[in-house]
Amino acid sequence: MGERGAATAGGGPGLAGSGPGLAGGGPGLAGSGPGLAGSGLAAAGSGSRGVGSGPAGTGADSPVPGSTSATTGSPPATASPSTSASQGSLVESTEDPDGLDLQGARADAFLGLAADNLALGRISAARRLAVRAAQADRRWRATVRGGWVGAEIELAAGQPEAAVAPARLAYETAVARHARRHIVKSGIVLGVALLAAGQDGARELLVAAAADAEKYELDSLGWVADRVAADVDHDRAEEYRFRSRQVLHAVLRRADPCVMRIAHESPWVPIGPG
């Protein structure tokens, strides 16, 4: 099933971000901070749709047992089986399989707050918010995004081995759903986690993510993918870095003035040469 929704996870402080960044590199990468994607991985681009929890309207219109009509004095009417079935199917249909509904929006909000706190170095608060996101929505989309944030939290905490499990869960879930953008981003996250943990498989994932980002024109992920691919494919490092700068330039040309300012001020976004 194809991915729905916009593509970059929404909760961190903007494109450039202020937290540890994927482009800047995680532990074991050429770069600095111990994190993943600059602005928190709660957010590589999808918007929230609202806040809420679970299906609404179950029994909201049911009369109170034993009550009578205020105007006629007659016993309250009871719904027929066919009416109840119809209402049940209506309630059931309100849950979106991809999480683009109230429950999904609540999870997005918690993940965004987790990313914000992580960017400020509040790792304990980020952990608590990530847990609340998982409790709010357990469908595939929230699972993938929660895996991104969970991996970033562990990397920021200096525990790269612990980052591998949530990153792998995110990647495998995205692959099972055939969600192209989520697959690319999850490949970047898992690749960085494996590299930081000193485990095998990082190069293949990161090179594949860079190739797919270019193939499917996922520019907001492409410049990051190229940046990290340069750290694992030394024969093509200059090619990756050059392409990363080109793609980032194209992305920022379409950005609003606020994002441009943040990008130029951020140490995680490679605006200049190099």
Token pair of 131 as six digits: 């847990």
Per-residue HEC secondary structure of 92-107 comes to HHCCCCCCCCHHHHHH
pLDDT tens track of the chain, all 274 residues?
444 443 333 333 333 333 334 433 343 333 333 344 333 343 343 333 333 333 333 333 333 344 444 444 444 445 444 444 444 444 445 789 999 999 999 999 999 999 999 999 999 999 999 999 999 999 999 999 999 999 999 999 999 999 999 999 999 999 999 999 999 999 999 999 999 999 999 999 999 999 999 999 999 999 999 999 999 999 999 999 999 999 999 999 999 999 999 998 988 888 765 5
| Cα 162 to chain centroid, rounded | 18
Which has the closest alpha carbon to 41: 221, 234, 240? 221
What is residue 93's predicted lDDT score, i.e. its pLDDT? 52
Give residue 214's pLDDT: 97
Tokens of 19: 């937290």
**What's 235's DSSP letter?**
G
Spatial neighbors of 99 by CB under 8 A, at least 6 apart, are 107, 137, 139, 140, 141, 142
Between CA 58 and CA 61, with CA 60 as vertex, the angle to 5 degrees is: 120
CA–CA distance, 263 with 39 (Å, rounded to integer): 11
- Kindly report whether the global pTM for this prediction surpasses the value 0.75: no
User: Shortest CA distance to 153 belongs to which of 269, 273, 34, 6?
Assistant: 34
